[in-house]
Structure 1
């Protein structure tokens, strides 16, 4: 019970890291209070609560918050997914994140993204997304693959195999089309959106 309460209090610190990244990566935000009306941010916060209950085996409560996120924001983030603090889900509508996904800090996910599976077997079946990754709108990253740090995935791309760090990928299936050579994804990248 103590660990649950400690983690519950820690959600405030995680929320602050999320807010900091949103303000850095969403040029339409003028102040952090606008996040109260931001569907992607609200869905991410509901996921964080859901994930906390899920980790402490309070599955009914966990799935209740998961359900609220799907109904109110049209964002489907399974409570079993692991999302580090400081991730941005821009808009969020139509975003699907599977149960065994991991997402690193600094990642920016646009609307309509699927981080999903290619089969129905148990165990690890979803992608691991590195840090400072940009995933363009409508992109699908499927299967138990690894996406390196500082990767940019083009809009509507379908990624079916692992991607090394510091590259741009695009297409169906996605192929390397360039290099990022950056430590952080820029706020606006014209070729992605």
Structure 2
């Protein structure tokens, strides 16, 4: 029991520290812990996901809890979604993450991002977001597509096909490009593309 409690505490503090590193508007760990709905939604998801994995009545409890969290935070994460370490949702409001979504480590989402499905079949129907990816405000990533490690999706982009590692996807529908080797990947979101894929 003590080992499980220590592991849970370590996960919570790791999430908190990752959020503090990514939010220049915060002034303390306490402020971040008390006033960040994306972080609250993540912590609640970690609990609802544990209930979901138990199966049976645990799944109903997980769904009810996740809906209460949605009402409180404006962030909807299905308890079946798999979320990695050091995940951060900036601002939070309007984020939706579907049941079969898989999110890697060190991923950052801005407000209004949807990791949604395009099928009603009970199969893998939501995106996989690999380690270190960043999805801009209002981005829609739909279907069982893969957002590669270190990739960036621009604000309000609509992504319906895979984005390779390190690439940038912008527009509706999203066009994918690789930043020039000397170009800062973050700046690539705002500059004319060097190379479309």
Q: With structure 2 as the length reference, what TM-score do the two structures score? A: 0.86
SS in 1 for 2:38: helix
Gaps of 5+ in 2: 192-197
Task: Give me the whole-angstrom Cα distance separating, in 2, the residues matched to 1:60 and 1:47.
Answer: 14
Unaligned runs of 5+ in 1: none
Contact 1:167 1:179 (C-alpha < 8 Å) held by counterparts: yes
Would you say 1:47 and 2:45 are equivalent positions?
Answer: yes
Contact 2:157 2:171 in 1 (8 A): yes
Cα distance in 2 between the residues matched to 1:127 and 1:150: 15
2:190 maps to 191
SS in 2 for 1:44: helix
| Residue in structure 1 matched with residue 90 of structure 2 by the alignment | 90
Displacement, 1:177? Answer: 3.5
Alignment partners' CA distance in 2, 1:47 and 1:138: 21
- 1:63-82 to 2 correspondence within 5 Å? 63-82=63-82
- Is the alpha carbon distance of 1:98 and 1:6 closer, same or farther for their aligned partners in structure 2, counting shifts above 3 Å? farther
Aligned-pair CA distance for 1:52: 0.9
| Higher RCO (CA-CA < 8 Å; seq separation 6+) | 1
Distance 1:148 1:69 in 2: 29
1:5-57 superposed Cα distances (whole Å, 9 cap, x missing partner): 86565222211221121111111111111121111111111111111111122
Q: Pick which of 57-66 and 22-31 moved more.
A: 57-66
The C-alpha deviation readout for 1:140-179, integer Å capped at 9, x for no partner, is 0000111110001000000000111011110111112442
- Counterpart position of 1:15: 12
TM-score (norm 1): 0.88
Question: 1:162 maps to which residue?
Answer: 162
> Separation in 2 of the partners of 1:94 and 1:191?
23
Structure 1 residue runs of 4+, over 4 Å off? 5-9
User: Which residue of structure 2 lines up, in the alignment, with residue 113 of structure 1?
Assistant: 113
Distance 2:6 2:63 in 1: 21
Q: How many residues align?
A: 187
Bigger radius of gyration: 2
C-alpha distance in structure 1 between counterparts of 2:7 and 2:92, whole Å: 24
CA RMSD of superposed structures (Å): 2.4
